[in-house]
Amino acid sequence: MSFNSEARNCRVLANPNKLVELKIAGRYRMIPVWATELSFEVRPGQKFDARAWKYWKPVLLLLNEVAKKEKLKINWVRVHSHFGHKGDVPHAMGWWDHEINAMFLCHFDKETMLHEVGHALSSGYHGDPWAKQASRLYLKYLKGKEQKDAMIQLAHYLSGRRVYKTLYGEKAPRAPEIQSLWKGLDPG
Ligand SMILES: [Zn+2]
Ligand SMILES: [Zn+2]
């Protein structure tokens, strides 16, 4: 290794948020160093706004940890940005593709990501197996208010209400309606 490339590596190590150019799914994209060090490939959506990386960082670092602990093989994860979007984002907050072992994330919260990991570890869409996995993941990987809110979100699904009742011995409170996290979000 030459002196120059060593020096370059040192600089990269010093700033994990630095953007580097990388060929992803056949196209050159700019992604932060930390996103190149995960067990899965991170694929920013078309027209991804680099200011969104800071919102994705904690979610993708946790996903990396979860994939390792749950022995889940993920090929790649698509992430979105929708700064300045008017009205509702016209697609799901996240989904999991069982055939290609890939995750799509629009909502940059840990709950959405764990909801999708729940799908990856179960089958039958939002049935009981999914609700059991999702609640187990929320209890294991979330804390405090984040955990409580996620458990309440389970009440959107009949399966989730059953799991909640079993765990807490009482009916789940009504889950608040979900708003897109991108609505009115300041890119900072
Ligand atoms: Zn989206
Ligand atoms: Zn789902």
CB 48 within 8 Å of CB 30:
no
Q: What is the per-residue pLDDT for 103?
A: 98
SS (H, E, C) the chain: CCHHHHHHHHHHHHCCCCEEEEEECCEEEEEEHHHHCCCCEEEECCCCCHHHHHHHHHHHHHHHHHHHHCCCCCCEEEECCCCCCCCCCCCCCEEEECCCCEEEECCCCHHHHHHHHHHHCCCCCCCHHHHHHHHHHHHHHCCHHHHHHHHHHHHHCHHHHHHHHHHHCCCCCCCCCCCCCCCCCCCC
Q: Compute the distance from residue 125 Cα to the ligand 2 centre, in Å.
A: 6
Nearest CA to 94 among 112, 77, 114?
A: 112
**The residue to which tokens 């600089």 are assigned:** 11
Say which ligand is closest to the CA of 160.
2
- Whether 105 and 130 have beta carbons less than 8 Å apart is answered as no
- Say how many Å lie between the CA of residue 105 and the centre of ligand 2: 12
Q: Is the pLDDT of residue 3 over 60?
A: no
User: What's the rounded mean pLDDT across residues 125-140?
Assistant: 97
Nearest ligand to the CA of 156 is: 2
Ligand 2 centroid – CA 141 distance (Å): 18
Long-range contacts of 149-156 (CB under 8 A, 24+ apart): 149/111, 150/110, 150/111, 150/114, 152/176, 153/111, 153/115, 153/178
With 0.85 as the threshold, say if the pTM is over it: yes
Distance 115 CA to ligand 2 centre (A): 6
Residues with CB under 5 A from ligand 1 (ion): 80, 89, 106
Ligand 2 center from residue 135 Cα (angstroms):
13
Q: What is the mean pLDDT of the chain?
A: 92
Residue 90, pLDDT > 90, answer: no
The residue among 161 and 177 whose pLDDT is bigger is 161
**Rounded Cα gap, residues 130 and 124, in angstroms:** 7
pLDDT digits (tens, 9 = 90+) for 23-62: 999 999 999 999 999 999 999 998 999 999 999 999 999 9
Instruction: Tell me the ligand closest to 47's alpha carbon.
Output: 1
